[in-house]
Structure 1
Amino acid sequence: MNHYRVGTIEFTEDHGHLQTILKQAYANQQRPLCLCTAQGVELYIAFAYDRYWLKRMPNSGERHHPGCDSYEPPAELSGLGQVYGSAIKDNLETGITQLKFDFRLAPGKSRTPVAPVEGEEATKPTSIKASEAKLGLRGLLHYLWEQSGWQRWTPAADSRRNWHGLRKALLEACAGKVAKATALDRLVFIPETFSLDKKDEINARIAKDLAYPDNLNRFRVLIGELKEVKPARFGQKLIIKHLPEYPFYLNDQTYKRVLKQFDTEWLLWRGNESSRLMVIATFSIRLGGYPEIDQLSLMNVSAQWIPFETAEELALIDYLVAHGRSFSKCLRYNLARSKPLATAVLVDTDTPSAVYVGDTAAHEESTSALRDIIAESRTPSLIWDPLHQALCEV
């Protein structure tokens, strides 16, 4: 458990007077120290939704001890560096994080520019503005996963890895985040753990949260685990675990696009029975009172809820878990699948080590790109050999 100090007071996150301590420090504009190292690492305090929160200072993750909850692998080892500062902006004064999305949050016309009428001369721009990175749906899911700490694994975490714990962690990760002046925790809908004994009261809360017409003219963001897909009268319906009586509908055209774009995710899910398939989607409540999906993305996770992209990555995760290793999974955010990326960072040693998955097909181009990434990295590296199921030194 992490230890902290503000002034002369030392405390942990389960301190009985934590909120009082943080409130006083916040009023005095004091910065607490995380005591994971001898020198301590400065944190800041945010106030959001009637609660004070300890937050890691921007770009300070590497300075924390590898075993600390606030440790973050170097930006070079994940896709966070590409979006931080543009799609993700922390305000240290207010403690609010502003997020920018590349998906719409309300029904409306497309923002695609209208093509010029035939015969008219198109007006050429006199300058070109650099594109600003924004979070897609999967990028948002990666960000919340990382903010919740569920990309990290330690052997001691096993007993706490269930849907109740994940939901709580994700909702806490939403606190203090804003998108287009709307609090993220008011946009995100994550089903609570279903219990047959409490079926009626759970369904009543769901019905209130998804009430028509409160959600008619805006999109909400669903995060849930997919159970199955069934044919509907028109299109298909997604059955989400813990939501047995609230299917989410997809029209046929959208469903075909999902199958085509996420064919790898479907195959990995079906081919690994212990794995899970996470859904993140924007949806609205239609006139009939049912939820219909607008945009959707999928993410494979292991039995321990650790994200993975390939069968080789899953084999590596299973190996590390079986051998009692502690590690942090590197997440891609908006980076293209073709770009080599470290799969995980081992954090159970004084010096963290990045682990890369080797190319079993030994494609020259991908092997060369991987060698270049490792050569440029400041972090010691290991290669996972999928064929022999072993970690190898570079």
Structure 2
Amino acid sequence: MPSDRYAGLAAVLGAIRSSPDITQPMLVEQVGLGRSVVAQRVAELEAAGLVVSSGFAPSTGGRAPRRLRLNNEAGYVLGADIATNELVVGVADLSGHLLETRHREIDVADGPDVVIGVVEQMAGALVDEIGARRSPWSFGIGMPGPVTYDDGGPAALPTMPEWSRHPTRQRLADRFGVPVWMDNRTNLSALGERRVNPVAARSQHMVYLGGGYGIGAAVVVNGRIHRGAHGLAGAIDHVPVPGAADVHCRCGKTGCLEAVAGGAALARDGRLLAETLQSPALARVLERTGRIRPSDVTEAAGSGDAAARALLHRAATLLGRSLATLVNVFDPDLVVVGGGIARARAHVLAAIREEVHRSALPAATRDLRIEPSAFDQEVAGITGAIEFALGELFSPEHLPAVLDARDGVPALEAVLPA
């Protein structure tokens, strides 16, 4: 349990992080602490080099108050967004501003040794490139499946059996000398959404749909990610879909939502449309490239291809039906459609809305907003991974080690949970 001092330090630092150029009187009002306590906490954060002054605000009758901001350049954080078929690694300053990112296609089925080796290589290159070898402070990792948050490891799933036994966090902590935190990448995309989307930031009860090669959902309850007892909250990817019992899923079962409406399913069914010449646009893509990707289906639909449009509409209807279950259970005021499916918003959003309103309870949808992500989906996951790394680093539980490190005590390694 953090002390009142560190809880106050974290609250003050959090307010400064979220409100650049905030003044000390504004901090008193925002964090609910007395003026002398806020002054002490600000002084501690300034002494640690985490907060700096940025001029003066207009006077309201007395001495002009100083504006305060986070010292963004004091250090750097690393992030990695590991999807089923691609990987994004990035480095950001302490404000969460991305300085550089790198992207590479991967296959998560190659296993953790291979994929984490690529993460190490890409992150190491970024650290060298920006000259931050001595200053990374934290590393946030988004995984393509549920993570047991308390111990920080991937949940034991049939789709990723090797990952649950791999010491991913410890390996990266040893490599970079920083604390490492992991979570489901859909949860991290939801965190990123709340950082950049004012509508999402105001919502206390939100569901975020992340649809790519896999499908996942993140649930926000009372302004915080709800993970459940085993990190599985919102895991709608393997819920059964009526009438799809003959479709095999990579988890070993049949009829899962991911198997009939995920990105891999779109690629599979789009290829069938191309091979049978039901979709002239996709047939041309297959002839030219030898493969069909989900983005090819979206582009074909955008060009007016009727079969591609019908395929996207079917997937959207199935997604909307499963989302309706989460709407009934968690009663959100906002649903954000993100991930790869957001790139096809012109063809899927209306169908998702229609199916949610048809299938969910009327009371749950009376004032429900269903909106596309405000993100460029190329950076949604990595932005969330960075935000996750910063949020954990500056939490009341871990801030003491950060402050000790700023005093010259090599304590950042102690932030890493056992």
Structure 2 length-normalised TM = 0.26
Structure 1 length-normalised TM = 0.27
- Give the number of the structure whose residues are more often helix, by fraction: 2
Which protein, 1 or 2, shows the higher relative CO under an 8 Å CA cutoff with sep ≥ 6?
A: 2
